[in-house]
Structure formats: structure tokens, C-alpha cells
A and B are shown apart, each in its own frame.
Chain A
Amino acid sequence: MKKNLVSMLILCLIGLQSVFAQDREVSGVVTSADDGLSIPGVSVVIKGTTIGTTTDFDGKYSISVPELGEILVFSFVGMKTTEMPINSDVINLVMESESIGMDEIVVTAMGVTREKKALGYAATSVGGDEIGKSQAINPMSALQGKVAGVDISTAPGPGSTQNVMIRGASSFGNNQPLYIVDGVPITNEQNSSGSALNSQVDFGSGINAINPDDIEDMTVLKGAAATALYGSRAANGVIMITTKSGKDTDGKMRVSYSGSVTLSKVGRLPDVQKQFGQGWSGHRALDENGNWGPEYDGKDRVWGNVVDNSQQIKPYVFLEDRVRDFYETGKNVKNSVSLSGGNATTNYFMSLSQNSVDGVIPTDNDSYKRYTIATKGSHKAGKLTVSSSVNFSTEKTKAVASGQGTSVFRSLYESSNDISIVDLKDYNNKFNNLDNYFTPYGVNPYYVLNENGAEQDKKKIFGKFQFDYDFTDDIKLSYRFGGDYETTRSETHTAIIAFAPGSPNDGSSSANPGSYSEVRRSRTQVNHDLMASVKQNLNEDFTLNAIVGLNVNERRYNWLSGSINSIDIPKFYNLGNSLAPSVSNQYDEKRRLIGLYANVDFSFRNYAYLTLTARNDWSSTLPTGSNDYFYPGVTGSFLITDFLKYNDIDTGILSFAKVRAAYGMTGNDADPYSVYDRYVSAFSSNPGYPKIDDLKFPIGGVNSYMASNRLGNPDLKNELTKEFELGIEAQFFNNRLGIDFSYYNRLTEGLISSLPKDPSSGYTTQMANLGDVRNQGIEFVLNFTPVKTENFTWDVSYNVALNRNEMENLDVDEVYLGGFGGAGIYAVEGKSMGQFKIAAVKKVEIDGVMKTVVDGSGNPQPTTETEFIGKDINEKYRMGLTNTFSYKGFTLGATLDFRYGGHMYSYTKDYLHWTGASPESVLNDRKTFLVPNSVVSDGKGGYVENTTPVDPTALHKFYGDGGGFDGDADNIIDRSYLKLRNVNLSYSLPKNFCEKLNVSNVSLSLSASNILLWTPTENAYIDPETTTFGNDVRAKFGEYGAGPSNEFYTFGLTFTL
């Protein structure tokens, strides 16, 4: 429901013009069919006259009807215009919303509102109701599976980042959309600590600061033509968020409350084999961390170390759900209150919200606490309207690090499946402490969990001030100042791991002197928009709407960090508590962008629309003198049904039909500081293995500088995206069936990345324009209402999106996009972005058949170099299906999200292979087998058939060293999945009951999210959405020991006073 202030004011004006002689009074109440709430500001006009009024705050109206008046016409933005015969003195109306929203007003670029039907490109809006109903913490969660062509995935862990990509990857670096809140861009950078492999912590990104209950509407703009006005940063699409405003309530205050309690539990955990227990090489060994021991026999046996002449006893059996039992039920309590109100000239809105999340890992070391305050107000003084919005949030995130090393992940899986994890909880117990823990190869997970930590405190303030001056009804000037400032303080620490001399675990490589680091970051964004708009009716048929504007944007980022790599006094985390001086680092970055833009809309008889846009940007990150670029766009749409109606032709079953076409460009600048040569603080590089540092100055009291290995590029140019889009929208059977089809073809030229150079040239890299990528695809949305009776409605919404990504040109052999030393995803010419390259096993072609070359012990041999294995990250298609059933006050909805194709790297699989826990590792009951189709070197350059079986006592080598039959490539698994994203049952209390409670509405909801997950058999390990590789394309590489994903069960209550 769109209760737009401006339209209300206009409607009020119309309502005052009553001139006819008046005979009788007709009155009534207008309520909404959606929520039963009264609708203020509905225009009530007597058909064929100019007599009219509007409903007041309580939805009531009263109108004097002249004798000739026969029909009342009720109209309101976003609702179906309804005609009612005047056959009584009381006419109450329940207004239906425009179910498919074709007369919907959408906010397009630069905060301009337009009728959706006039748009020449795809734009999908999701209303605040739907977002609020989801009770999500992060607003993007509510869109999952619901918007065609938008890929949203979430990392596990409270307060983590949402990875959002629209219509595929078109940049090597940033592919995240631009988030615009009330016309102002907000900062959405991810904060994290650690590296992809070690101690990875995700502290979330900027949009986490938005309270979903404050959102009135979210619109996704996908194509270049739609986003071009937003300039360089909109090349990857735009998510436009309009927040709620106060309404004209005649000064009354409206209070809304939304609260929920969510329980979460751990979702997918890896399947493990149930046959073999603790040991190595096929033998039982009490200090081993693997499942390479003998078969379970159920007999009572001693285990662990002998401590004080005693040892523990337990049956040698497989323990079901031992890892699942480690996790607990997470809780999220949410409260959100908003107050709003206003009169004809002034309105305000304010909200307060609180979230308190404790995730599924025991302790509150995975938790997220958020408080938000939002205020918004506007005042109209004659021709000038001033408005502002200010949002403040504070977030505290505590996270449990993932990855290798002594992480909780490793600790959970590097113990065999006959050892109960929950019984290790008392990590100071003499059998469970560091000294006597049963294996020297791992550390008690409870020690790691309780003693290590990562925490971030974040404060963010963003908002705008806006002045709109209406010279006339048709000529307006606006100035909008937007600001966003966020500051974070994060600290991470790992505890000392030390062993008493002579204790069983003395000498373990897990020993660690501990570490501590603190990072303070701040990000500032300042945005100015100055915009003039002119509206002109050229003649009866033509209307022109033109905007010219100037945009100035500045972004600053800096951080300061301090760290120590050893801890002196245990458990005291302070930069001074170290055996060696603390190390500090700093970074400062600033970039600016100036844009001049113009937009001209022509409309012809309200059935044909043409929009021309153009923007020129000047960027500080490109070489001076050639730092500007121009990008125009044109879109057109033709409303077939409106054309037919205009010409009085019956449209039959067709309620609405539109064709649209768009061609547009968007430019994108480079990252800062890629143009000039530099001298950097000196270091001598050592190989980047864990725990090996580069030799870094100052050394021995001497400091030094060296020429950077990155060559400046004075010829660096912007990236340029050119996109063509075609679409058809149609509604049939009185809007019961609707389709929306889009085809797009997007070519992005001059993708910027690091160009690797032959070090003989003196340089190893240079930022350069390296290649062109094309994304083309289709998006199809089907809305269908199979059943619609007075009390019962069944709505079906289905969407499918296909995207084909291809690197059309690439000046280098490959561009590394993400991964780690042993495996990566790359861009390669002629292929889609994100090709996996990893070590496989040696193969040789003999008589046209590929054979595996095994060594003398019958084991496949890893290839020394990594190689492309013909698998990539990209899915073939994505589908979403939402069914909604409404019966009286009840609504039941369910969304399925399906993705087919694409691959990911799973370290979880790799690690379970190593520890012998993977289901694959019991092939042939761990008895001897021959590698199929294998050959062995004959010592003379040829090959003979292999007859040596894999040694059953060396299976840990077969699976652990190489990864099985395909070596490391075995860890690249199918990413396909089908998820039941959400099942939601809500109930709105009947109106009369609400009145008794003295509230205007109450609704209750129950929802369950991510409760079912289906994956192909080769993925028995991990929720495929999981990543530890940050955000964006690189995140699609996969996971390196990530925490498990979660299921959520939410009970929600909302009411409005």
C-alpha cells in the first residue's frame, strides 16, 4: 500500500473544490483489504463531477451528493480504483490493493517517482509489509528467492554479510549493488578479520545497520539503463530502499510495535562414516585425531591419556550427532517500536529497535546485538519543503573464527566419532585440559571456543537533509545532502596454548604463544545532489519531464591496527602484554567523484513512454586529464492495453500488456592509487606459508623503502558496461495471471584487475584494463491466483533466471579471482568467470582412454601444478517459488529457492577425508581396492597396467594426502541446492476484536526459515551458500572450514495503536 504524502496533499486540494448544490450526506469508512486498516487520504469523487473529498485519518469520509450523483469513485495510489453506486447513506468500502501493481508508483533513480507501468526496464519492488513479516535482521534476507536475477546468499553467523549479485559478475573486483536509502548512497563495505584460510571472521557490512521494520519499500534496479543516473557505482545494479515516513494524521500519533522471538538451530552438518573409529593406519591409537582405526565393536575400552594413574573407559561405538550435540539453540529477541504522525504541512517518523542474537555455538561468543534509532521528518513552508532523516545504529558482533589452525571447526572434526564432544566441556578437567587432552594433534574445542575471541563494536550514522523548492507546480529545484559515517573497533585474540613439560601433549605443534590485535576503522561518505526538474505538457498528447543534476561524492576510509604475536600474562589482552613490541599499521584512502546528469522522459497519451538519460563522471581514481567518461541510455515502453483502450478496442482476457526496451551504459572507475609509481616501506618476501612472516623493516634499528613491485598505470581507463534489455509484461483474466519476461545482454569492457608482469621487467603487477565480459540472460516471473473467493485466496509467484557469463576477451591467460595457494577460481578467455584451478591427479591418454597414473604403492599422484578441471562457480539457473494462501485473517506462505549447477570448494570435505570421517572413505569397507583404470610407469617412459592395490593401512594417504581418486580436485563439489527458504503463517486479529483491545490492528506470525535443504549426493558436507572467502565473486570459491548454517523458527507479534 502506498500512502504517498505528495499524492495525499494533491488529493486534499481536489477535495476542497465542492461547488454544486448539495442534497444529501453520504458517509462511510474506507479500509484496506490487506491489513484491515483504515486508509486516510482516499479520494472520493462523485463520478462525472468535480465534487469530491478525501478520507480523514480514520478512513472516514462524508460527502454531500447532489441529486444527479449516482456513483462514487474511490481512488488511492496503489489501490484499485473502485466505483460504488450511491444507494445508501452509508457506503463503506474495503479497497483492494493493486495486486500486480501495474499502477504502482515506483521510486526510480535519484528519488524520482514514476508509475511502474511507464518504466522501460525491469524493476522489482518488495513492500515493507513483506519485509517486516519476515522478521529478518538483515533486510536482504527477505528478498531471497523472490526476485528474479538477484543472487543473495548469507554467510552463517549472527550479523554476517549478505552477498548480493545482480545479473552475474561483471567486474573482477566489486560486484555488489549500490544501496540507496531515501535517495542517498550508503556505505556497504564488509568488515572482517583474519584471512580466508585462517581465523576468518565476518563482521557484517553497512546495510546491517538498517532496521527492516523501517522499510516502506525496496526496489531492485537491474539493468544499466535503469541505474545509469546513479553513476559509476551503480554498474552492478541498485537496491533502492525507501524508509517509512510520517503521514497526515491530523496531529494524532500512530504507534506501531513489532516484536519477535527467534530460535535457531544448526542446519546442515557433514555426514560421516559410522564404521571405523579412532586410530591411524588401520590401527587403534589412543592419541590419534583420525578415524583410521579398526571397526567399531561396541566393547568397553580405555581411551585418552593416563593421568594420575587413571584412565577413562567408554564403549568403542559410533556416536550419532556428536557434533550436532555440541551446538545449542540460538535465540534472537527483537523489539521494534515506531511513532509517527503529522498534519498537512509537517510530519515525523521515529523508530527504535533492538535485536539480541545469540547464535547456535555454545557461549555467547557468537552473538549480535543491535540498536537502531531512525528519525525522519519534513515540513512544508510555502514553496519550500525541508526534510531530513537521521539513522543511528550501534552493533556489537562477536564471532567464532573459522578456518584451519586451532579453530573450533578443526577441533570438532579432528577427533574420532567415538569420542563424545559434549563430555569435553569442562576443559579444565584433568583429562580434558591442554596437557592431557587425548590427542596432541588437536585442541579441546571448548578451550578454543571459550579462550579465543573476536568482537566488533560498530556505530553508524547516516541520513540526509533535503530542500525542495517548487518554483511552480512544474519547475522544481532540489538539493540533497547525504552523509554516512561509520566507525568500528574490533579486537581478536587467541589464547596461549602451552603444555607442562613432560605432560602427554608436551611438544605438540598446537603450541601457540597467543596473539591479540585491535583494529579501528572508519568510513565516511558525503554525497551532494543538486537537481532541477521541469515538467511540461507539450500538447494534449505529449508530456515532457526533464531533470538535470549534479552529483558530488566523496568517500574516505582509514584504519589503524595494533597487534602482538605473543601473550605474556595469560588472559590479559592488551598491546603491552607481549614478549615483543606490538606492531602497528595504518591505511588511509580517499576518493571523489563528480557527475553531471540529465534525464528526459516523454510520455505520449499515457501509453507510450521514452526516456533518455546521460551522465558524465569525473573520477579521482583515474589519471588526471583522462579521468572522465560519458554514458548515455535510452529506454522505451509501449502499453498495448492502454493503446487499445485509448482506441476503444476491447482487450478481452488481456488486462494489461506492455513491451519495453532499453539500451544503456554505465561506467565504473578504478580503485584509488593505481596510477602512480610508489615507494613502499621495505620488506623482503618469504613464501607466504602460515606462521612465516616477510622480513620487514625496520630491522636492527634501520628503516628503509623500496620501489613498489606494482607499476603505476598512467593509461588506466574506466570500465564501461553496455546493456540491452527487452521485456514483456502482461496480465490476463482480470489480473489473475501475470507474466514478466526480460532478456538482457550486457557487455562490460575494460575490466580492471591486476595485470601480472614478468618480474624480469622489475615489476610484478600493474592495475590495468584487462578484458571484456558478457552477461546475457533471461528472467521470467509468473504470478498466478488460482483461487480467489471472498475469504480465500491462493497466490503463486514463480521466478526463474538464467545467466550466461563469458569472458569475451582477456589480455592475459588468466585472472585470479579468489581462493588460496592450492586452489583458485580464475577468469579465462572464452569461459565463464570463476573457473576452478586445482591440483588433480596425473593422467595419461592410452589408446584414447584417460588412465590414472599411480605410483608404486598404487596411489594416484597429485599433479605438481594446479590445472583447470572444467568446473566453475556459475549456476545454470535459479528458480524461486512462493505460494501464499489467505483465509480471512490467516496467511500461509512458503518460498522455495532452487539453484542448479555450479561448483564450490569444500575444505570441510577435504578435512573429513584427512581425518577418515568422510562417508567416501569406507569404500569397499576399507579393504584393498585397485584404482580403476590405472597404469604405472614401466620405468622406460611407457606405462603398464597397474596391479598394485591401494594399501588398506595407508588409506589416510590415499584420501588425506591426495583427496581420493581425483586428488585435490575431489574437493570441488556441486553447488546445486533446493532450499525451503521460509514458511510463514500469520494471523491478523479481526477488526472488532482489535477495537475491544483498543488497537487498530494486531497480527501474529510464525515462521520457519532455511528448514529444509536438499543437495546432490556428492555434497554430503556443507550448506552450499556457506563461504569463508569474504564477499563478492571470490566468496563463490567456497568454504575453508566454515561454521554450519542455521535454521530459524520465529514467533512474531506486530500491532499498531
Chain B
Amino acid sequence: MKHKIITVSLACLTFFGWGCDDYLDINQDPNVLSEIPDAKVVLPAAEIGLANQLMGWDFGFGGGFWGQYWTQAYSASQFKSLCEYQETSFGNAYNELTAGVLNDLERMKTVSAESTNKGTYFVAEALSIFTWQIMTDVWGAVPYFEALKGNQGIDSPNFDEGSAIYADLLVRVDALIATDLSGSTLDKNYDFVYAGNLTAWKAFANSLKLKLMMRLSETSTYNNAAVISFIEASNFITSSAKIKGSTWSDGQEGKRHPMREFQEGGANNLSTNVIASKNFLDYLDTNNDPRLDSIFVKTGSAQLGAFVGDFDSSEDSDGNGTDDDSEKYSQPYFKADMDLMIMSTWEINFFIAEAYARAGNNAKAKEFYDLGVEASLAQHGGLANDIITTGYATWVDGTPEAGIKQIAMQKWVANANYQHIESFLERNRTKYPEVNLIDIRKDRADAFTNFPVGSLTISVAGRTKTNAKLPSSPIYPQAVLTRNVNAPAQKVDLLEKVWWNLKAE
């Protein structure tokens, strides 16, 4: 008995002593992957992640309210602070675009860097450049050169000026365009956007370069002639880069277009908090734009928009006997199979048209302007193009500035419900629609009768906060400022402009 116990004990001791390291090496999480077989398995996450943020909570609503497509409903308060021009950081979008999308794209590039098949790498780099442009366009100076290196020990990346980021993005996009893709492929099963069509992705890269160039139109480095020659030498996207509406399973939680998720899952954010703004709705309505009924849904007998940011008022501005807070305003309309846009064909056509307009080439400008408007009408289900043949959007040959305005106004319309943050950024660049400083609160009845249709107004609730100015950029997220020792001081308000935002109001 005695020796048996000793033997067993020694056997145990030996076993544990011998196999200790192996015995304890069980710390790889079995619930996740420690390696991926191929970079392509990350691509769907990057594409969806990017698109979901572009029309998600921060950019979708922020751009919707600041772009004055929408305003906060009278009886609820979810988005009051956006309409009050309270400092907001769009922190969720920052988080998801950096630690989410950009980090995933970086990982794809690292994993696919050695591969002779450049397909996956190409798309990852294209989407990375695209996302970085949005990052610096929205927040201005952000960490760039040292960013995404947390796994190399850089916890507090330095901030870089927007101009430096742009310079590098232009170098990167040139290198990307120069990539020889012959012989390269991309697995179509992992590409929501172009189903593995690398020619389309090449066109996306060209379009991306055009977008980078055009955004700098007000800066001293802008060279319109160079843009024109780039346009004439390049192929651009002929179908929008988007997540197709057929991708969604609208009846399921977490499988919907973001705006549908905010509504249909039971949160009801659109139906209880968002109503059409008078500025945008009246512009479409007055001009008989056929897109009105596919952008907004009536809740009363007619399409009706409200003063921007006037949710605290209970006056009867239109004198119809119903106070403003009891009127039945139109609400945004998102179909179950709504496409989710990354880069649209109309925006590229409008960029091309603008470059020609700036060159004084009205014929070419009209050609691409029409293509842009038609692309938008097509996106709304193939609406008739009367508005550009006989209607309010018919191209008028005029000065370059008039052309720029005409294009910008149609871009504002086309971007509704599709590209809200792009709309906000383009308005910052072109300053169209123009802002009208009418003080609605002073005389609502007068403001109602003499409403400056086709312009933006200052949010009634936000007027004091920004001293009658429109917001120019969000502040920095707390998650960045408090965790990064190299972070600059917080912006004082929403009025700080990014480096290319130079045009006067």
C-alpha cells in the first residue's frame, strides 16, 4: 500500500513537472481565430464596416441634420444636441473607422503583402485611402503616419496636419493606380462592392484620386488643368461602389441597412425623432423634383417640412390653426432594400462636371452634370429626367461659379438619404447651398411666408451657440484625447475648419 501511494504520487509529480508548460499552454481563445487563412476573409467586414459608418449613427444623422435634410422632431429629444450645435465628436464613427475599418484594412495589407496576386491588397489599399480621406476631411488633423501601430507599441500616435495626410494619400493613390493588376484576381464571394471585378476597382482608384484632387479646389495647390488631363486620361466608375440593397435581411436584427436598424428594430429613431427640414423639402417641392416622394413619406395630407432646430416652439407659423409642434411633418423614407453607398457615380460625374465648369467648358460640364443627375434619378428607381430637360435642374451655361453652384445644389439633392457626410463635406468646400441668416425665432410667420427656399438657415436652437454660423467639423472624441498623450487641445466648438475649407460663406 505504502509503495503504491509513493509511486502514484511520484508519477503525478513527474507528469506535472514534465508537462507543466504544455499543460498550461491553453490560453489561445478557442472562441475566436488566432490566424486567418487568407486576407480576403476580412474584406467583407471592411466594406460593410465602412459603408455602415458612412450612413450610420454619427455620419447618417449628423450629416442629415447639419446638411439640413432633417431636423429634430418636436416631441422627442434624441438629436436635440446636434440641432443645438452642441459640441459633438462623432466618437462612434471615429472608433469604428480607425480601430475597425482602417485596422482591418491594414491587417489585410500585411497578410497579403507577400502575395503575387495583388487583388486583395489593391482593394484594401484603395479602401484605406478612401477611409483616411474621410477621416481627415471630417476631423482635420488626426494621427496618420504613426496610426494603427498599437501592435508595434505606439499607443499615442502623433497627430498630422490634414495637408500632410493629403500629400501622402495622393502619393499612395498614384502608386495604387500604377499597380499592375494583370494576372491578379479577387474572390468574388468576398467582395460586396464589385464582385471581384478588378477593372471596376481600378476605376474606383481613379475616381478616388479625382475625389482627393477636387476636395482641394480651394487650396493653393489645386491645379484644374492637371485635374482635366487626369480626367481625360482615366476611366472612372460606371457603377456606384455600394452595398446593394439585396444584401440586407431586413426582417432580422443586425442584418439591416443602418437607418432601417435604427427604426425597424423597435428603436423607432426615425419615426419618433426625425422630421423633414423645410429647407430641403421645400426646395424639392417647389421645384417639382420627383425624388421628393422617394426621400420623404407624408404623415399628413401633404409633404411638410419644419424649421431647422425649432423643436421648442409651439407657435402656429403658417397660421393654419395647428401649432407647429402638432403639425404632421414628413419623415425620412428608407426602403427595406436600400442601397448603402460608399462612392456614387453621381458624385464622380459631378466632380468631372465641376472641373470642366471651372475650365469654362460648359458643354462638357453639362454632359457630366446631366449624367450625375441621371445617375441620381436612376438610383431613385429610374425616375423621369424632366428636371434636366425642362425642369429646374436644366443646365444653364453661365460663369464657372454659377456652374459650381448648379452642380453643388444637385449634389445636395442627390446625396439625400445616401451620402450625408459627403454632403456635409462638399457643402463645406463649395459653400452651396448658401446660408441665409434669417432669424426665424424673431418672426416665424414672416419666416414661413418669405422662406429662403434653396438655402440653409441657422438652426433656431443652435443660433446662439455658434453665433449664427453653421458647424464646420466635430470636436475630437474623448477616447482619443484622454488616451493619447500626444493629442492636441480639444477644439473649442464646432466652428473649427479643416485645412481645405477655405471658401468664404
Contacts and interface: CB of A to CB of B under 8 A. Distances in A.
Contacts of A699: 44, 48, 247-249, 255
Interface string B65-86: 0000000000001000100001
Contact of A676 (B8, B34, B92): B34
Interface string A562-589: 0001100000000000011101001111
A690 interface: yes
A700 B33 contact: no
Interface stretch (A20-28, A433-441, A701-709, A1033-1041): A701-709
B244 to A, nearest CB: 8
Contacts of B56: 684, 686
B18 interface: no
Given A580-B251, A764-B95, A706 B49 contact: yes
Contact of B100 (A530, A588, A684, A705): A684
B142 A760 contact: yes
A885 interface: no
A384 B2 CA distance: 9
Interface in B138-158: 142-143, 147-151, 154-157
A759 B99 contact: yes
Interface in B148-175: 148-151, 154-157
Given A550-B12, A672-B27, A702 B44 contact: yes
B251 A550 contact: no
Contacts of B31: 586-589, 673
B45 A758 contact: no
Contact of B261 (A586, A622, A686, A812): A686
Nearest to A566: B251
Contacts, number: 262
Contacts of A676: 27-29, 34
Contacts of A512: 266
Contacts of A759: 94-95, 98-99, 477, 479-480
A762 B147 contact: yes
B21 interface: yes
Given A618-B24, A761-B155, A697 B44 contact: yes
Contacts of A707: 42, 103-104, 107
B178 interface: no
A708 B268 CA distance: 30
A929 interface: no
B249 A700 contact: yes
Interface string B236-278: 0000000000111101111110100110011111001000000
Contacts of B28: 673, 676
Interface string A219-237: 0000000000000000000
Interface stretch (A95-103, A260-268, A590-598, A970-978): A590-598
A704 B157 CA distance: 28
Contacts of B21: 624
Interface string A653-682: 000000000000000000011011111111
B27 A620 contact: yes
A114 interface: no
Contacts of A692: 261-262, 265, 267, 269
A702 B189 contact: yes
A691 interface: yes
A274 interface: no
Given A579-B251, A586-B31, A592-B26, A763 B151 contact: yes
Contacts of A835: none
Contacts of B12: 528, 530, 550
A425 interface: no
Contacts of A620: 23-27
B157 to A, nearest CB: 5
B131 to A, nearest CB: 13
B149 A762 contact: yes
Given A384-B1, A685-B92, A692-B267, A762 B483 contact: no
A410 to B, nearest CB: 16
A691 B154 contact: no
Contacts of B154: 761
A338 interface: no
Contact of A813 (B92, B95, B143, B482): B482
Contacts of A865: 478
A687 interface: yes
A647 interface: no
B44 A685 contact: no
B57 A702 contact: no
B365 interface: no
A766 B52 CA distance: 25
B33 A705 contact: yes
Interface in A704-762: 704-709, 711, 756-762
Contacts of B35: 679
Interface residues of A, number: 88
| Most chain A C-beta atoms within 10 Å of own C-beta, residue among B52, B81, B149, B269 | B52
A693 B103 contact: no
A708 B94 contact: no
A756 B27 contact: no
Contact of B49 (A589, A624, A684): A684
A115 interface: no
Interface in B328-376: none
| Most chain B C-beta atoms within 10 Å of own C-beta, residue among A587, A691, A864 | A691
A869 B406 CA distance: 53
A557 to B, nearest CB: 11
A758 B478 CA distance: 9
B129 interface: no
B33 A624 contact: no
B11 to A, nearest CB: 11
A677 B34 contact: yes
A680 B24 contact: no
A541 B59 CA distance: 81
Contacts of B482: 756, 813
A689 B267 contact: yes
B9 interface: yes
Contacts of A700: 192, 246-249, 255
B176 interface: no
B397 interface: no
B43 interface: yes
A763 B27 contact: no
B267 A708 contact: no
A619 B29 CA distance: 15
Contact of B16 (A552, A588, A681): A552
Contacts of A479: 5, 8-9
Contact of B99 (A566, A679, A762, A864): A762
Contacts of B150: 711, 757, 761-763, 766
A594 B32 contact: no
A761 B157 contact: yes
B394 interface: no
Contact of A673 (B29, B33, B147): B29
30 contacts: A479-B5, A550-B16, A588-B30, A589-B31, A620-B24, A624-B27, A627-B24, A676-B34, A678-B33, A679-B34, A695-B261, A699-B248, A700-B255, A702-B192, A703-B41, A704-B42, A704-B44, A704-B190, A705-B45, A707-B104, A711-B150, A757-B99, A757-B150, A758-B143, A760-B143, A761-B148, A762-B147, A763-B99, A763-B151, A764-B95
Q: In the A-B complex, list the 10 residue pairs whose CB atoms are closest, starting with the nearest.
A: A682-B45, A761-B150, A700-B247, A693-B254, A704-B44, A673-B29, A762-B103, A691-B266, A762-B148, A760-B143
Interface of A: 383-384, 467, 469, 471, 477, 479, 509, 511-513, 528, 530, 550, 552, 565-566, 579-581, 583, 586-592, 594, 618-622, 624, 627, 672-673, 675-687, 689-697, 699-700, 702-709, 711, 756-764, 766, 812-813, 864-865, 937, 939, 961
Given A624-B25, A686-B92, 19 more contacts: A469-B5, A528-B12, A580-B253, A591-B26, A618-B24, A620-B23, A676-B29, A679-B32, A679-B36, A692-B267, A697-B45, A704-B41, A704-B190, A706-B100, A709-B99, A759-B99, A761-B143, A762-B147, A961-B77
